[in-house]
Structure 1
Amino acid sequence: MPFSGRETAVQLPLIDNDLNYPGIELDLNERRLVQLHGQDPRWMTELEKIETKAQGLRFFDITEMQDLDSLARPRQLRKSSFPSPNSTEQVNFVLETLSTAGPKENLAKFTSFRTRYYRSDTGRQSQQWLLSKISEITAKYASKSLREQISISEFSHSWGQNSLIVSINGSSVDDDSIIIISAHQDSANMWPFLPAPGADDDGSGSVTILESYRALIAADFRPVRTVEFHWYSAEEGGLLGSQAVAKYYAAQSRNVLAMTQLDMTAWVKRGTREEVGIITDFVDPDLTDFNKKLVDTYLDIPYVETECGYACSDHASWAKAGYASSYSQESAFENSNKNIHSGNDRIDISPEFSFDHMLQFSKFVVAFAIELGKWES
């Protein structure tokens, strides 16, 4: 999650632009085109972009994505409707198989990398580990015939840490709709060269959707519509990875019916009610209402409406491309984890960092996939 206007801006350490930082490929003088809310795009150096984040400002880095808005126009004329949940027997069958064991093991490994910063060696290594884990889970839990419907691919980026896309191909020959469930795999400290375990932001979302994927394929889920799981690179750099993927899908005229982002799913602030934060600004209102119904129907905790602002996570890239997008997080925005973007975003902060809370979001993802993807009879 990028810095929000509600966070306190901090003073960055004095940086020597000519220093070399082992394991990090970053030219602080490189010029980037940045789009802030309500302003014309403007060029700034990479260092100025980092300082802009530290000031609590949200933005798209549109250096390579300047035409994303124009690709959206034909799509914005379409209007999708989302029915009330009606697949309770199939959803509940899968919900019973969800566990915290996998997320605990996977997140312990995912946070062991010094940083998952998208321009770092360890950012690339963490992406490769995640790819191997997805492949391992697929080989272990998917039947031989279901594996024939599953594709696992890297979406290449110039900075080295690639986005990951897993597709469970739909059976329908008449309905080319795609359902997307996503998280971002990268992490970032306030200053990119410092450690960033990124346990909550967004390690929690990454392993949350991975557990949902495991449970679905273990149940031999055969969707009518194609269901995809995405792990984006470089969200912290200005939604770079998700913009690239969304642009590619829009240029290919792919029919994305709905996408939902999970960014931070673990934190329950001491003294507050456990709940799901449903983001209501810069999202598709009909899909957001559908998500509320999923929470009411399938989760053990309530939702709360909250806002997070312009370009606050990867769903914004899909909205910009004209697709129906939505976003859920761990709580109301004001109660979310304040340790993010630091070395203190760790799994060992108890009891506020909660794998049981993450499990509620895995339930949400399973419900989203089955209700919108449908299950082949």
Structure 2
Amino acid sequence: MRLVQVEGQEPAWASELEKINMKAQGVNFFDITETQALGSSAHLRTLSQPSYNKPNASELVKPVLKKLSTDGPKENLEHFTSFRTRYYRSETGRESQQWLLNKVSEITKEFAPKSLQEHISIKEFPHSWGQNSIITRINGTSDDDRVIIISAHQDSTNMWPFLPAPGADDDGSGSVTILESYRALISSNFRPVRPVEFHWYAAEEGGLLGSQAVAQAYEARSANVYAMSQYDMTAWVKAGTREEVGVITDYTDDRQVVTLTLFLTAFNKELVDLYLDIPWVETKCGYACSDHASWRKAGYPSVFTIESQFGNSNKNIHSTNDRIDISDEFSFSHMLEFSKLAVAFAIELGGWSKDD
């Protein structure tokens, strides 16, 4: 039995089958069985939310953007979608997580200078269901402990979990998008002033399970999370629509500008304007639709960007048709724009110590 919370309702116990039926019926929920303490100190952080200066590090960001490519994401996503399903309770879900963990390690060894490798840690965050989350950290060079988090969820699901779920867009696309950003950063010998972390969460499709567990652990140790950015579905450009970045404005840090500094969603828009070749558009999920909501629940500033306006996003998700080759609407060049955004987010907020 699992403790499930639907927004606006008291938590209630449900079986795993009842959870599956809820998801099939479009009922959105948090599974809070193991994270009932999440958000217990959120009110303390909401009293002193950070703001951010306008982006001003283009001379550092732009050379890294030139190192981004669609080659790695294509190769990685082809393999990542070859698992029958990445469902978090399945054996192949565990195998796909281990493959991703090994791929992060391989990329680190191949592309990070040895002097940088000693400042990088790659760890599994264990979960009871077997598929673990992955946390890769580039340590900061200063005593400033404000951590920047760039994340995606690694699991996939069919509407009925026993069926195949290649999960190319949801969220294979986001997973390899941020992996490419990480590769470009470390190949540039990126030494942030503040720690920068890349997270690949398990079990998002089970009710934001992985990200809730990680956020609860960070909250319990009073971690100083400066900014969190989620990448969930970055590949789809619906035929006949404008290519754009969907900036989610619900369940995120969407406060309005009140001074010369920016709040996080406004800051993210500025990054799109400055570094991407496509525009942004405001859009809403209408519910806590991805892992950014777990961090918001803990009182940390979080943002979420998606492939388009929510209504124009990929309709093949949670099915056997969520594949790379299903349509020309699946675009690796579109994914590359989101890799640019993640690179800019890391450098502009993490800083770069060129003296180290």
TM-score (norm 1): 0.91
Report whether the alignment pairs 1:85 with 2:55.
yes
Structure 2 equivalent of residue 242 of structure 1: 211
TM-aligned CA deviation for residue 350 of structure 1: 3.0
Structure 2 equivalent of residue 369 of structure 1: 346
Report whether the alignment pairs 1:130 with 2:100.
yes
Report whether the alignment pairs 1:161 with 2:138.
no
Structure 2 equivalent of residue 315 of structure 1: 292
Per-residue CA deviations over 1:20-65 (Å, capped at 9, x if unaligned) read: xxxxxxxxxxx11111111111111111111111111211000111
Give yes or no for contact 1:71–1:247 (8 Å, CA) kept in 2.
Answer: no
Report whether the alignment pairs 1:261 with 2:230.
yes
Structure 2 equivalent of residue 3 of structure 1: none
The residue matched to 1:109 in structure 2 has which SS? helix
Give yes or no for contact 1:267–1:337 (8 Å, CA) kept in 2.
Answer: yes
Matched residues, number: 346
Out of 168, 184, 189, which is 1:199 matched to?
A: 168
Superposed structure 1 runs of 4+ greater than 6 Å apart: none
Report whether the alignment pairs 1:293 with 2:270.
yes
CA separation in 2, counterparts of 1:255 and 1:70? 15
Per-residue CA deviations over 1:80-115 (Å, capped at 9, x if unaligned) read: 011111000110000011000000000000000000
TM-aligned CA deviation for residue 73 of structure 1: 2.5
TM-aligned CA deviation for residue 75 of structure 1: 1.9
The residue matched to 2:327 in structure 1 has which SS? coil
Out of 98, 101, 118, which is 2:71 matched to?
A: 101
CA separation in 2, counterparts of 1:137 and 1:350? 29
CA RMSD of aligned residues (A): 0.7
Structure 1 equivalent of residue 198 of structure 2: 229
Per-residue CA deviations over 1:130-160 (Å, capped at 9, x if unaligned) read: 0010000000000111001100000000100
Alignment of 1:52-71 (within 5 A): 52-71=22-41
Out of 253, 273, 277, which is 2:246 matched to?
A: 277
Out of 147, 150, 157, which is 1:178 matched to?
A: 147
CA separation in 2, counterparts of 1:217 and 1:69? 33
The residue matched to 1:188 in structure 2 has which SS? coil
Report whether the alignment pairs 1:220 with 2:189.
yes
TM-aligned CA deviation for residue 226 of structure 1: 0.2
* Paired amino acid for 2:192: P
CA separation in 2, counterparts of 1:330 and 1:171? 34
Per-residue CA deviations over 1:250-286 (Å, capped at 9, x if unaligned) read: 0011100000000000000000000000000111022
Structure 1 equivalent of residue 120 of structure 2: 150
The residue matched to 1:201 in structure 2 has which SS? helix
Out of 162, 166, 177, which is 1:208 matched to?
A: 177
Report whether the alignment pairs 1:32 with 2:17.
no
* Paired amino acid for 1:352: E
CA separation in 1, counterparts of 2:123 and 2:332? 28
Give yes or no for contact 2:39–2:216 (8 Å, CA) kept in 1.
Answer: no
Out of 36, 41, 44, which is 1:74 matched to?
A: 44
The residue matched to 1:69 in structure 2 has which SS? coil
Structure 2 equivalent of residue 346 of structure 1: 323
CA separation in 2, counterparts of 1:234 and 1:44? 17
Out of 27, 31, 42, which is 2:12 matched to?
A: 42
* Paired amino acid for 2:338: F
CA separation in 2, counterparts of 1:343 and 1:98? 29
Give yes or no for contact 2:151–2:199 (8 Å, CA) kept in 1.
Answer: yes
* Paired amino acid for 1:263: D
CA separation in 2, counterparts of 1:48 and 1:131? 31
Identical positions, percent: 73
TM-aligned CA deviation for residue 69 of structure 1: 2.1
CA separation in 2, counterparts of 1:55 and 1:82? 40
The residue matched to 1:34 in structure 2 has which SS? strand
The residue matched to 2:2 in structure 1 has which SS? strand
Structure 2 equivalent of residue 324 of structure 1: 301
TM-aligned CA deviation for residue 71 of structure 1: 3.0
TM-aligned CA deviation for residue 310 of structure 1: 2.2
Per-residue CA deviations over 1:317-358 (Å, capped at 9, x if unaligned) read: 000011000100000000000000000000002310000000
TM-score (norm 2): 0.96
TM-aligned CA deviation for residue 309 of structure 1: 2.3
